Amino acid sequence: MLTKILRIDEVHKNETAIREAGEIIKAGGLVAFPTETVYGLGGDALNPASSRKIYEAKGRPSDNPLIVHITDMEALPAIVKSVPETAKKLADAFWPGPLTMIMEKSALVPKETTGGLDTVAVRMPSDAVALAFIRAAGGYVAAPSANRSGRPSPTRAAYVAQDMNGRIEMILDGGDATLGLESTIVDLTVEPPVILRPGFITGEMLRQKLGRVEEDRTLFSDDSGQAPKAPGMKYRHYAPKGELVIVKGAAETVTDYINEQLAGERRNHKKTGVIATDETVAGYRADVPRSVGKRADATAAAKGLYRILREFDDEGVDLIYSESFDGEGVSQAVMNRLLKAAGHKVINV
């Protein structure tokens, strides 16, 4: 299959391309598209054959449910059993945007899309290209992140192409994703609601609207022994090809410890990478040192993390050391992804 890549600079100037992408979805094909979080691998959410194709293209186990993307609240009642009050409040506050809500599904949504579950994950993205594309595709687009299973989520079209060339009909290139980390997922089928994946819409923001909201602490910390609640969380995700280790401690101690390790690895002819910050990056003697930005700027870290992980892959890095990102809000989302990429390997110094 030849994968067509179409650059979309502005929706109103590229209507033909967006219409063409929509037709591919309606005909049961797959199109990768930009969202404000990461690129999605889209198919018709109401067509079981399309969802099966998504799993195949991703190389993903078919018990891992997909997120259904919509463009307006009028689309919601048809795919859920009933619209919970909590969903209305959160939609008012955070849709369109980087929030996914889990609700009881209606019969319209095939089990292939929900990985066999009776619940469905729904998100209304804010990206203009995403919205125009979903509309052109009929209003219900199932989309996981557009990476091959086990690779970091793609934040630009070139990364989608690396993973998906020849496997899907089209890639809509809308430039770099503005946020760079996947949406917050909140389960509204339980009382109180539970955050299954941290993101830009933080626990604090959700609590302001709903009162009590629980956070599964295992999502943010390295002391996880508990089974994850989102089926996708059980798979090793966002994994770079090299081994990744997080080093926690006082800034200077961390730098000294990592440099000691790097010296040893060099003697073993290993290619090394470091994930650091603007304040510390110059102090590392790694083959591929990378900064995620200023330490205080978690938003920059969120935006750069997956790009940096892919750069290590491209450079053939064998071993990566990362500083730790501790803090509230978006830092927690960054740390959650980093811990998963590291397979929870953390060294306290």
Count of chain residues binding ligand TXA (CB under 6 A): 27
Q: By CB under 6 A, name the one of 31, 54, 57, 67 that touches ligand TXA.
A: 67
Q: Cα–Cα distance between 167 and 300 in angstroms, integer?
A: 31
CB nearer ligand TXA, residue 172 or residue 196: 196
Cβ-proximal residue to ligand TXA, closest one: 232
Query: Residues 176, 300: contact at Cβ < 8 Å?
Result: no
Binding partner selected for residue 185 from Mg ion, ligand TXA, none, CB under the kind-specific 5 to 8 Å limit: ligand TXA
Does position 47 interact with ligand TXA (CB under 6 A)? The reply is: no
Q: By CB under 6 A, name the one of 102, 129, 309, 342 that touches ligand TXA.
A: 102
CB nearer ligand TXA, residue 48 or residue 231: 231
Query: Residues 57, 168: contact at Cβ < 8 Å?
Result: yes
| Range in contact with ligand TXA (rule: CB under 6 A) among 6-14, 64-72, 157-165, 323-331 | 64-72
CA 28 to chain centre: 24
Residue 288: C-alpha distances to residues 133, 257, 273, 334 (Å): 38, 17, 5, 20
Residues that bind Mg ion (CB under 5 A): 145
Q: By CB under 6 A, name the one of 37, 47, 71, 291 that touches ligand TXA.
A: 37
CB nearer ligand TXA, residue 324 or residue 336: 336
Site map 221..260 versus ligand TXA, x via CB under 6 A: ---------xxxx---------------------------
Burial (CB count within 10 angstroms: exposed 0-12, middle 13-18, buried 19+), residue 206? buried
CB nearer ligand TXA, residue 35 or residue 280: 35
CB nearer Mg ion, residue 137 or residue 181: 181
**Count of residues in the chain:** 349
Q: Cα–Cα distance between 47 and 36 in angstroms, integer?
A: 25
Of the candidates 163, 210, 177, 181, which has an alpha carbon nearest to the alpha carbon of residue 334? Answer: 181
Q: Is 300 helix (H, G, I), strand (E, B) or coil?
A: helix
Site map 143..182 versus ligand TXA, x via CB under 6 A: xxx------------------------------------x
Q: Cα–Cα distance between 20 and 2 in angstroms, integer?
A: 15
Please work out, in degrees rounded to the nearest 5, the angle formed at the alpha carbon of residue 65 by the alpha carbons of 57 and 229. Answer: 135
Binding partner selected for residue 102 from Mg ion, ligand TXA, none, CB under the kind-specific 5 to 8 Å limit: ligand TXA
CA torsion angle for 240, 244, 248, 254 (degrees, to 10)? -110
Q: By CB under 6 A, name the one of 24, 25, 38, 319 that touches ligand TXA.
A: 38
CA 145 to chain centre: 6
Please work out, in degrees rounded to the nearest 5, the angle formed at the alpha carbon of residue 116 by the alpha carbons of 115 and 117. Answer: 95
Pairing between β-strand 119-123 and β-strand 99-104 as defined by DSSP bridges: antiparallel
Q: By CB under 6 A, name the one of 100, 291, 299, 332 that touches ligand TXA.
A: 100
CB nearer ligand TXA, residue 35 or residue 71: 35
Q: For residue 306, give both structure tokens.
A: 């997956």
Considering just the CA atoms, what is the radius of gyration of the chain in Å? 20
Binding partner selected for residue 120 from Mg ion, ligand TXA, none, CB under the kind-specific 5 to 8 Å limit: ligand TXA
Q: Please report, as residue ranges, which positions from 107 to 126 form the binding site for ligand TXA (by CB under 6 A).
A: 114, 117, 119-121, 123
Task: By CB under 6 A, name the binding residues for ligand TXA.
Answer: 35, 37-38, 40, 64-67, 100, 102, 114, 117, 119-121, 123, 143-145, 182-183, 185, 196, 230-233
